[in-house]
Structure 1
């Protein structure tokens, strides 16, 4: 009987690993903290008109997400020499690359870099190109500056996760730079349809670190209630393509 039970457990675990390995979603605002104040401010029409404050709040949210994410990374003990002796300290074990999507991703990138100052940096452009008279659009990626991603920890950052198409297009463009050992996606606000799209296109065991999740998108593919256009709020209005 004991052997049969062990065999059944092994079969069950194998079946689970083949069929039910999905993205790990870390929805941080569900446990109230000071993070909720920053989220409220980036959403609030009466506050978000202050561009400097808006950028700083994106930066602070990124810092909190980065700290929460750091609890799940791999560490190795290293010996540090102090003026009075030596001490073994757990230090991050793998090289890291922070890749931000321009332009709203810049203050978000700075927040992550405040905590992971040893990380390499990558920048990529992705924008909506409207293909007709309606609200249909495609994501165009036109600029990429990045180091090798081979066997590194990739942090893919953008404040807004709306349809999810930008994240998917960017990840496809990054594949030519090597295979990361692990992938972490970070966002301030996301919509459930966009998260569902990421689950279909990103590798199993990808982690999503997100401050807030809204249920729907409007006809133009913007998050409702969301916060508006993060890039415009951070840096000013842009001419449309």
Structure 2
């Protein structure tokens, strides 16, 4: 299942427009904040699909019966580009456990690349709701490999993926490899370059959020 948040929330479309805009991208704080906002909207929408239980809450004047989350999800992000989006999710799921994965493209002289995973910090995820954030779902290779990596630690009962911009190529690959995953995205683009970049996309989200890196 794929949910395009721009179709239902006009403000998400506005934030995506700013993320794409080369005249606005130079403001790193604004770029990060727009990613956070998309994460916050996604967190709210995902929360509507999670189970709740009734709990008696003592107020200064009596007792209120409230519905609260049955359990906290595990928020996972792919370093470093996913940090701002992750912070948006964490603003709403503020008691959640967190996992961090280092995944990057190892470029080869011929222009191709392979996905490298070199670090994982993960809580117990078996039979828990897993929410993974990565701002760009391009080929889908890094996300699929990350999910496979995480599943070695335990089998989540549900997987949600939050991304700012997704490409149809990556969505189809993800559907084949992880059919149970639900994708929440700010926009969907159809084109992917030979080097695996989304068009029109927005460029390199990690560089725009945190500064240019040396290519490996």
* TM, length-normalised to structure 1: 0.87
- Which of 180, 185, 190 is 2:161 aligned to? 185
What stretches of structure 1 move > 6 A for 4+ residues in a row? none
Residue by residue over 1:143-200, the C-alpha shift from the partner in whole angstroms, topping out at 9 and shown as x without a partner, is: 1111110111100110110000010010111112111111111101000000001001
1:32 shift after superposition: 4.4
Number of aligned residue pairs: give it: 216
1:220 shift after superposition: 1.0
Which whole-Å CA distance do the structure 2 matches of 1:173 and 1:140 have between them?
11
Structure 2 residues not aligned, in runs of 5+: none
Which whole-Å CA distance do the structure 1 matches of 2:204 and 2:178 have between them?
25
Which whole-Å CA distance do the structure 1 matches of 2:72 and 2:86 have between them?
17
Structure 1 residues not aligned, in runs of 5+: 1-23
1:31 shift after superposition: 2.5
- Computing the radius of gyration from Cα coordinates, the structure with the larger value is 1
Q: Which of the pair is proportionally richer in strand?
A: 2
* TM, length-normalised to structure 2: 0.97
Residue by residue over 1:1-20, the C-alpha shift from the partner in whole angstroms, topping out at 9 and shown as x without a partner, is: xxxxxxxxxxxxxxxxxxxx
Cα RMSD, aligned residues only? 1.0
Which whole-Å CA distance do the structure 1 matches of 2:72 and 2:9 have between them?
32
